[in-house]
């Protein structure tokens, strides 16, 4: 397996990520042709994915952000989700795409989906860069998936460990000795 400049094993290179995001953008463009879209990034991890995905869709799109917390300073979810930053604009009657870095247990996206549906969007879809179905605790699926992965701890391209490694351009495996 290839390694990056820090000696970390690369799971998906920046080139693979860019190509897959272009493909996802084309799918979203096709599915919502002629419509307006509100892309909602889940901070902080989804910021790089949202930025690239927004440039890859060829429709009238705006974006907003929410911030939630379900992880502490370790690599385990607390199981309780807190909304830290809400939407800036109403989504009623609009096509909405939740953009997430990784769909893991499903707890966060189930929570957000429930909240957003209460605002009566015209449609609500989910795009995730990574899907880890083996860890799912809630029965939720994404409409657009970049890559499906096994139960691995990954960092880079927005994903972190205790707020570190978000800036890595590739998606790498977290070394077990670093956790």
Q: How far apart are CA 178 and CA 114, in angstroms?
A: 35
Cβ contacts of residue 23 below 8 Å, gap of 6+?
none
Residue 104 annotated as catalytic: yes
Q: Is 106 exposed, middle or buried (0-12, 13-18, 19+ CB in 10 A)?
A: buried
> What crossing angle do the helices spanning 47-56 and 14-31 adopt, rounded to 10°?
50
**Active-site hit among 4, 64, 86, 104:** 104
Residues shown for the chain: 179
Which tokens hold the place of 172?
A: 């790498």
Q: How far apart are CA 159 and CA 87, in angstroms?
A: 22
- The catalytic residue positions are 104
């Amino acid at each position: 397996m290839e390694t990056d400049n820090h000696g970390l094993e690369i799971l998906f290179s920046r080139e693979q990520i860019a190509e897959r995001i272009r493909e996802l953008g084309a799918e979203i463009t096709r599915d919502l042709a002629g419509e307006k879209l509100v892309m909602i990034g889940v901070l902080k991890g989804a910021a790089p994915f949202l930025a690239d995905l927004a440039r890859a869709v060829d429709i009238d799109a705006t974006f907003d952000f929410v911030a939630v917390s379900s992880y502490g300073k370790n690599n385990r979810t607390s199981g309780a989700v807190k909304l830290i930053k809400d939407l800036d604009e109403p989504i009623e009657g609009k096509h909405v795409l939740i953009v997430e870095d990784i769909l893991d247990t499903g707890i966060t996206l189930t929570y957000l989906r429930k909240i957003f549906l209460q605002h009566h969007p015209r449609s609500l879809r989910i795009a995730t860069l990574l899907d880890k179905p083996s860890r799912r605790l809630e029965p939720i699926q994404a409409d657009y998936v970049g890559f499906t992965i096994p139960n691995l701890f990954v960092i880079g391209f927005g994903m972190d460990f205790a707020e570190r490694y978000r800036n890595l351009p590739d998606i790498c495996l977290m070394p077990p000795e670093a956790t």
